[in-house]
């Protein structure tokens, strides 16, 4: 392995580039991006060694596709058309059904590995790229059996090298579960931000009265709409279903309050406290 191409030099792809380079300094990391300023920034920040274009992809040993999930499904078939037989291409998107379907019958399907490294921050762009973003985080790999043996092995070695634990799932299960534990959190946070901004005309007051609790709950509302809109679109059915359930639970809570049933309010919270034990393992 010598030439690594990162398509989309933002938080996710950029952080992966940094870790891979730290591990294998002999590799050359090329960046491809529609945003020229991001490429320049990525070079300056040493996230990539130099910039490249699709016409260079025939020299690629590894391609990391880290662009929004709607463009990923369009670009992936083109990329597979261009790479050599020995090249591994993996994506890092937060939805897995559409991308797997997009290359289902592609002659180079075996060069592709569908991955979802579950990690990130609320920041974006090359300057958001950081070392060790993936350490001790989970990487969900879908349809592993459709990837060539040697490339499975290469990917596994790389992911373990940057500190990830691997889980295998089918794309349907992935998209359903990730709607629960990731996509819903983002919506709950965005809508919390919206509700408070609407109510508080005086922003100085929000700043002064909000404690760290509000800050942590609303943190995800800083996330990139460019990245998240296509995720919600691709995972619409699962997201709408879990959002429905969330709204129902909130409505029930409100009804208990309206009915002065604070014993039930207490019981609800007491039961949910059990989330402590579940979270104890995270991070």
Which parts of 226-265 interact with a second copy (CB under 8 A)? 226, 228-230, 232-233, 236, 239-240, 242-247, 249-251, 253-254, 257-258, 260, 262, 265
Stretch near a second copy under the rule CB under 8 A, chosen from 12-20, 51-59, 152-160, 179-187: 179-187
Residues touching a second copy: how many (CB under 8 A)? 94
CA 9 to chain centre: 14
Return the number of the residue (157 or 194) whose C-beta is nearest a second copy: 194
Place of tokens 């929004």: 68
212 lies in the binding site for a second copy (CB under 8 A): yes
For a second copy, the closer of residues 43 and 191 by Cβ is 191
Is residue 275 involved in binding a second copy (CB under 8 A)? yes
- The CA distance from 84 to 80, in Å, is 8
282 binds a second copy (CB under 8 A): yes
Cβ proximity to a second copy, 62 vs 221, nearer residue: 221
Lookup: tokens for 213: 């609790």
Residue 219 binds a second copy, judged by CB under 8 A: yes
- Scored b (16 or more CB within 10 A) or e, 37-69 reads ebbebbbeeebbbebbeeeebeebbbbbbbbbb
Phi-psi region of 261 (alpha: psi -120 to 50; beta: other; left: phi over 0): beta
Binding a second copy (rule: CB under 8 A), the pick from 1, 144, 148, 192 is 192
Neighbours of 255 (CB within 10 A): 11
Q: Which is nearer to a second copy, 86 or 247 (CB)?
A: 247
Q: Decide: is 144 part of the binding site for a second copy (CB under 8 A).
A: no
Based on the shown chain and the rule CB under 8 A, indicate whether residue 180 belongs to the binding site for a second copy.
yes
Nearer to a second copy, 104 or 203 (CB): 203
CA atoms of 187 and 194, how far apart (whole Å): 10
CA-nearest of 66, 72, 79 to 234 is: 72
Residue 48 and residue 31 in contact, taking contact as beta carbons nearer than 8 Å: yes
Q: Judged by CB under 8 A, does residue 55 bind a second copy?
A: no
Site string for a second copy, 109-128 (x = CB under 8 A): ---------xxxxx------
Contact flag: residue 223 with a second copy (CB under 8 A)? yes
201 binds a second copy, rule: CB under 8 A: no
Cβ-contact 13, 7 below 8 angstroms: yes
């Amino acid at each position: 392995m010598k030439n690594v191409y990162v398509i989309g030099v933002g938080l996710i792809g950029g952080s992966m580039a940094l870790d891979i380079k730290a591990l294998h300094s002999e590799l050359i990391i090329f960046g491809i991006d529609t945003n020229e300023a991001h490429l320049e920034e990525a070079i300056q920040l040493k996230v990539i060694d130099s910039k490249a274009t699709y016409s260079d992809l025939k020299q690629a040993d590894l391609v990391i596709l880290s662009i929004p999930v709607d463009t990923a499904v369009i670009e992936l078939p083109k990329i597979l058309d261009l790479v050599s037989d020995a090249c591994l291409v993996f994506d890092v998107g937060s939805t897995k059904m559409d991308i797997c379907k997009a290359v289902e019958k592609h002659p180079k399907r075996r060069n592709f590995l569908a991955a979802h490294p579950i990690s990130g921050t609320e920041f974006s762009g090359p300057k958001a790229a950081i070392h060790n973003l993936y350490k001790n985080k989970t990487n969900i790999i879908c349809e592993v059996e459709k990837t060539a043996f040697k490339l499975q092995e290469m990917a596994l070695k790389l992911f373990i090298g940057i500190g990830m634990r691997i889980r295998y799932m089918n794309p349907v299960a992935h998209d359903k579960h990730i709607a629960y534990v990731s996509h819903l959190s983002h919506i709950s946070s965005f809508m919390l931000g919206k509700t408070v901004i609407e109510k508080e005309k005086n922003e100085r007051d929000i700043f002064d009265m909000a404690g760290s609790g509000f800050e942590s709950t609303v943190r995800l509302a800083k996330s990139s709409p460019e990245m998240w809109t296509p995720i919600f679109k691709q995972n619409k059915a699962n997201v709408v279903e879990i959002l429905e359930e969330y709204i129902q639970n909130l409505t029930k809570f409100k009804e208990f309050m309206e009915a002065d049933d604070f014993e039930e309010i207490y019981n609800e919270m007491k039961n949910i406290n059990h989330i402590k034990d579940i979270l104890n393992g995270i991070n």
